[in-house]
Structure 1
Amino acid sequence: MSLDSRPLDADQIVDRRRLRRKLTFWRVLTVLVALAAIGAVIATSRSGSLTNLPSGAIARVTISGLIRGNQERVQALERLANSNVKAVIVHIDSPGGTTAGSEQLYDSLRRVKAKKPMVVVVDSLCASGGYIAAMASDHIIAQSASLVGSIGVLIQYPNFTDLLKTVGVKVEDVKSSPLKAAPNGFEPTSPEARAALASIVMDSYNWFKELVSSSRKLQGAALDKVADGRVFTGRQALDLKLIDQLGDERTAIEWLAKEKGIDPKTPVRDYRLRSRLSDFSFLHLAAVTTLNAVGLDGFARSLEQSGAFAAAERLNLDGLLALWHPSPTN
């Protein structure tokens, strides 16, 4: 290498360092701006806003994803019940969630129905806790290929006993009674603990069945046929009396016009039950935005495609579940 070329190489190294510093600066700035924008949206995206609903409109409420307890949702539905909307169409696309959260949603929707004509439209899936919510309405509409049902309750918990033996770890505890903190995942579940869990599951299952019986007017063999945990297509659900009609939102508007006297030309407007970026969705969006900003967009896409975000959200569920396909791998 000649002496004349050395200053040029040094300049190139300096330029590359400057470029790297600039890229780092802009990446960090992009992340900060993105996080600030997310914070601003959260601050301004108040749930249950009635300002976008014209007087006398039909409110479209959407329930999707996993169902948990949510006081913000309860308050939004209370505002909707006391508003001047003419009717409510509830779209459901949910595999269910916690039993308590589903019951809370059911009770809130019942209070809306007491004041407003309400009809449920099943989109793709209305299973377990989603179906509990659907029964708040007197009229349920589903598409022919929708999945409906999964009437049942479960408790799931991991057991690490064999893994701990393999790595040579033993977890010890001192308990006030044998059933305290059972099951704990660090030891085999005793018959007494399993029986206690089974009694909880069966008590909630009987409550679920009674709800189906009173809401859908099903008894005896007809009730047992739909309450074995299976899901049914919309066509099957209609024959089994789990739903009332096949169709979509247009069908719901026609029913409201015929049965409740609602003008079919009444505009239908969306009504949010929670802010756009609440709960886990905020963490999801922040993670994706940050990974994209620092040049790891490929990694963000792989997480999306692998279902890692959905799996983490499902693992966040705890307690009694009214949920179809609860495994994180589904």
Structure 2
Amino acid sequence: MSLDSDVIVDRRRLRRKLTFWRTIAVLVAVVAIVAGGLYATRSGTQTSSGAIARIKIEGLIQSNNERIEALERLEKSSAAAVIVQINSPGGTVAGSEQLYDALVRLKAKKPMIVMVEGVAASGAYIAALASDQIVARQTSMVGSIGVLVQFPVLSGLMKTVGVRLEEVKSSPLKAAPNGIDEPSPEARAALEALIKDNYTWFRGLVQNRRAMDEAQIEKVADGRVFTGRQAIGLKLIDQVGDEKTAVAWLVAEKKIKSDLPVRDYKLSPKLGDLTFLRAATSITLNAVGLSSIARQVEQGGFAQAIDGMGLDGMLALWRPVSLN
């Protein structure tokens, strides 16, 4: 009986040791991945030295101070020129304006051209307007000049489930619309005034930057998107082509050396988008037995879900209906 007790005690002791060393191994792996990732991210911003820097604007555009700081570092770098590669449906109006302003400052320091890879709609087109030259593929989607605010009206659902909202507020237009009740005529009028003001700014920016007269801006400023082939005839872009077309323009118009390589200049990504952090998180989750969540993190599903939320404020965004 005593022998069995000793065996059980030894097994428990061994299990505790294994758990301890397993935890240490996981922590060492996480630290190594994070350190390596930070080094890669830091050094990645220097890869454009003596070359044409390629920066990528992808996904939803929101206010992002880290990205602005990275663009300011690029201003001071030894990059010979910049290609801004855009593939984005837009985002918030404020975030798009912030990015536009940063790209205008960058253009003052470096020869710059925008290349539309897939989509440059709404807020992403605002960003594209910072460049004096815009190139897009024939099948790229460009435009969507407009502003919107979307909110649900849940009054019917709340009535069905027997819930109602009580409000005490300082004035009728405070926190209106609230997404619960139908907006009052006054609230709708106030919201429409905000949208009209931002739309007037967006429309004016397009007209100014693309040198359009009233007849030309009227054709493109109704919220539609256009293909690259359509956009060139409408003065929304300057050339149909690809990155080689963009490089050729820099060589011809900005006297950039024709043999310079094009290298990625990594803008500081969001914490949740860092590949090395996703790997570290995945290892940790697997170690504690949460393998299903780990798989989701590896595939970027969690980050993508977060990206689709939290778009506060007025939107300059193109959201096509999915047919899948």
TM-score scaled by length of structure 1: 0.82
1:44 Cα deviation (Å)?
A: 4.3
Compute the RMSD of aligned alpha carbons.
3.4
Q: Structure 1 residue 98 and structure 2 residue 92: aligned?
A: yes
In the aligned structure 2, how far is the partner of 1:57 from the partner of 1:180? 53
Residue identity in the other structure for 2:221: A
Provide the residue aligned with 1:7 in structure 2: none
Contact 2:272 2:303 in 1 (8 A): no
* Unaligned ranges ≥5, structure 2: 1-6
Which range is displaced more, 70-79 or 108-117?
70-79
One of 293, 313, 317 as aligned partner of 1:323: 317
Shift of 1:155: 1.0
Closer/same/farther in 2, CA of residues 279 and 51 from structure 1, 3 Å limit: closer
1:207 aligns with 201
Letter in 1 for 2:47: N
Find the partner of 1:256 among 250, 262, 265: 250
Residues 1:230 and 2:242 are matched in the alignment: no
Which TM-score applies when normalising by structure 2?
Answer: 0.83
Taking a change above 3 Å as real, the CA distance of residues 329 and 153 of structure 1, as seen in their structure-2 partners, is: farther
Aligned equivalent of 2:236: 242
What SS does the corresponding residue of 2:190 show, helix, strand or coil?
A: helix
Cα drift, residue 305 of structure 1:
7.9
Give deviations 1:288-321, integer Å, cap 9, x for gaps: 5555555554565568889664343222111011
Q: CA deviation at 1:158?
A: 2.7
Q: Which amino acid aligns with 1:178?
A: P
Q: In 1, Cα distance between the equivalents of 2:222 and 2:18?
A: 58
Q: Letter of the aligned partner of 2:192 in structure 1?
A: A
What is the match of residue 273 of structure 2?
281
Aligned to 1:53: 48
Q: Give the % identical residues.
A: 57
Q: Which moved more, 1:121-130 or 1:162-171?
A: 162-171
CA distance in 2, matches of 1:90, 1:174: 49
Distance 2:15 2:322 in 1: 40
Q: Could you say if the C-alpha distance between residues 137 and 299 of structure 1 is closer, same or farther in structure 2, counting changes exceeding 3 Å? A: same
Describe the shift of the 1:30–1:93 C-alpha distance in structure 2 as closer, same or farther (beyond 3 A): farther
Would the aligned equivalents of 1:117 and 1:256 in 2 still touch at CA under 8 Å? yes
Per the alignment, residue 83 of structure 1 pairs with: 77
Q: Which amino acid aligns with 2:173?
A: L
Secondary structure at 1:114's aligned position in 2? helix
User: Cα distance, 1:22 vs. partner?
Assistant: 9.0
Q: How far 1:164 sits from its partner (Å)?
A: 2.4
CA contact (8 A) 1:310 1:328 kept: no
Do the aligned partners of residues 69 and 38 (structure 1) sit closer, same or farther apart at CA in structure 2, a change above 3 Å counting?
A: farther
2:182 equivalent to 1:192: no
In structure 1, the residue matched to 2:142 is: 148
Kindly tell me: are residues 21 and 161 of structure 1, through their superposed partners in 2, closer, same or farther at Cα, counting changes over 3 Å? farther
Q: Provide the secondary structure at the position in 2 that maps to 1:66.
A: coil
Q: Residue 303 and residue 273 in structure 1: after superposition, are their counterparts in 2 closer, same or farther (change >3 A)? A: closer
Contact 2:281-2:297 at 8 Å conserved across structures: no
Return closer, same or farther for 1:91/1:228 CA change in 2, 3 Å cut-off. same
Amino acid at match of 1:52: T
1:135 corresponds to which letter in structure 2?
L
Task: State how far apart, in whole Å, the 1-side matches of 2:300 and 2:65 are.
Answer: 31
**8 Å CA contact 1:92, 1:120 repeated in 2:** yes
Counterpart of 2:177 in structure 1 is 183
Equivalent of 2:161, from 167, 180, 196? 167
Structure 1 position 51, deviation (Å): 3.5
Among 114, 118, 122, the alignment partner of 2:112 is: 118
